[in-house]
Structure 1
Amino acid sequence: MDNTRRLVSSGSPLEPRIGFSRAVRKGPFVAVAGTAPIGADGRTVGPGDVHAQTVRCLDIVEAALAEAGASLADVVRTRIMLTDVTVWEEAARAHGERFGAVRPVTTLVEVSRFIDPDWLVEVEVDAVLG
């Protein structure tokens, strides 16, 4: 088994500044960091729209998994962090659109805020290959 530690970057300027990777693969395990709804232009996608923001987070997560050699089908745990848990159903709808057949364990939790006040949601995942 290859236990090489593989770092995946999304190109965020915060990664080197904070000292984190978008994802890390070690052997069959892949962890994807808390992922915010940031567009290619560096701006928040879907301001005020939890569903659109969750979709964007999951797009970024899916790309990070692919770069690490994994897919959504390998995900065993997701964590959805919301600044307002009363809108959980919008985040859950986006989650269900991607994970309806995979059905990883999932936690939805309310947080007080994120780095950017326009972010309503962040998503992190853990995957196991094989």
Structure 2
Amino acid sequence: MNRQLISSGSPWEGPVGYSRAVRVGNLVEVAGTTAMDGDMVTGTDCYTQTKRILEKIADALHEAGATMDHVVRTRIFVTDITQWQEVGRAHGEVFKNIRPASSMLEVRALIDARLLVEIEASAVIS
């Protein structure tokens, strides 16, 4: 089966051994995505970071031949679960009509202390 690797150009992809997204057949898996843009983080609050993350996920899906409409599952990792409403509001603005299965979990930390949210997505192209 054909395997398409989508790169974000992150300096971590090679050394860590991952891709921003992978498409195999009609399945697209998008790796954990944060609001890290180069050395900068877009946004200092959960809402803004989540909006940026979802833009980056949409870009990766587009490169794989998919859209947000194809997303069937998201996994959301937050460093402060008390901020779930802000994360949920941004997620809902994108997915309110698509309504993928979703999980939100609190984690102790992400790879950079400025990061508050990380999201993974799975999409099936019909």
TM-score, normalized by the shorter chain, greater than 0.5: yes
Which amino acid counterpart does residue 26 of structure 2 have in structure 1? P
SS in 2 for 1:13: coil
**5+ long unaligned stretches in structure 2:** none
Measure how far apart 1:42 and its partner are. 3.1
Taking structure 1 as the reference length, the TM-score comes to 0.95
Shift of 1:17: 1.4
Summarize deviations over 1:7-32 as a string: whole Å, max 9, x none. Answer: 00011111111010000000000000
Instruction: Look up the match of 2:43.
Output: 46
Q: What secondary structure, in the 3-state scheme, does the structure 1 residue paired with 2:69 have?
A: helix
**2:83 — aligned with what?**
87
> How far is 1:106 from its partner?
0.6
Residues 60-106 of structure 1, C-alpha deviation per residue, up to 9 Å, x if partnerless?
Answer: 10000000000000000001100001100100000001001100001
1:32 and 2:30 are equivalent in the alignment: yes
Give the alignment partner of residue 18 of structure 2, picking from 17, 20, 29.
Answer: 20
CA distance in 2, matches of 1:89, 1:10: 28
What amino acid does structure 1 have at the position aligned with 2:15? R
Structure 1 segments, 4+ long, off by >3 Å, are none
CA distance in 1, matches of 2:33, 2:22: 13
Query: Counterpart of 2:16 in structure 1: which amino acid?
Result: I
Q: What CA deviation, in whole Å up to 9, does each residue of 1:29-55 have, x standing for no partner? A: 00000001023x4311112x1000000
Q: Structure 2 length normalisation: TM-score?
A: 0.98
Q: Percent identity?
A: 48
Paired residue total: 126
Kindly report the root-mean-square deviation, in angstroms, between the aligned alpha carbons of the 2 structures: 0.8
